[in-house]
Amino acid sequence: MINRFTQSTYHTICDKLAAADPNLAAIIKAHGYPPFWSRPNTFETLVHIILEQQVSLASALSALNKLKERLQELTPARLLLLTDEEMKACYCSRQKTGYIKYLAEALLSGQLNLAELEDMPDNEVRAKLVALKGIGNWTADVYLMFVLQHSDIFPVGDLAAVNAMKRVKKLPANTTKEQMTEMATQWQPYRTIATMLLWHYYLSVPKNKGLMV
């Protein structure tokens, strides 16, 4: 069974998490509910997530907008018409240019079918995506959370979520990813929404202030 959340259940799930975890309750009390972050199941969305790997959200969006401006419509076939130099002029690194072109080829060849992923459980979606060059667990996590709205994903490779969790839970700086993954089990089966609360906190609070609970 695939557990998903929707816009209509989003605040109810936030409330359930808040009732069980005072730290998450404090985020809602201080900053309100997090936005309902979602993206369509398209090639453009996956390109956007690849561009977001290890850079700021603003930098990734600049590159995406540059590609869209150049192509008018960001499709696999149109993207493959661009040379590496043209991709570079759209702020795409040589490495990410390779990843994005590989993705475009996988979609055109039928190696990857985005519509088919909508009915697959977490582990099968992840296996399909990480089989592609340049797509790792972080990219798969964001896709599962934002695009497919799977409700129980904890992206332990996401620095913003991890740093927010350390601050909210007052964890030592050297807390390991394994320890944090174990702690996140308290939020099952809604780890995705708990993560969105952490992101909301991270984006709302100045970096030099903590959360008083």
- Tens of pLDDT along 5-57? 999 999 999 999 999 999 999 999 999 999 999 999 999 999 999 999 988 88
* pLDDT for the residue 205: 85
What is the tens place of the pLDDT at every residue in 69-95?
Answer: 999 999 999 999 999 999 999 999 999
Q: Is residue 136 within 8 Å of 46, Cβ to Cβ?
A: no
Superfamily for 43-147? Hypothetical protein; domain 2 (1.10.340.30)
How is the chain split into domains, by residue range? 7-36+152-204, 43-147
What is the tens place of the pLDDT at every residue in 159-190?
Answer: 999 999 999 999 999 999 999 999 999 999 99
Q: What is the pTM of this model?
A: 0.92
Structure tokens at 208: 């030099």
Given the candidates 3.40.50.300, 3.20.20.150, 1.10.1670.40, 1.10.1040.10, the CATH classification of the domain at 7-36+152-204 is 1.10.1670.40
- CA–CA separation, 78 and 76 (whole Å): 6
Sign of the torsion angle spanned by Cα atoms 175, 158, 93, 62: negative
* pLDDT for the residue 213: 30
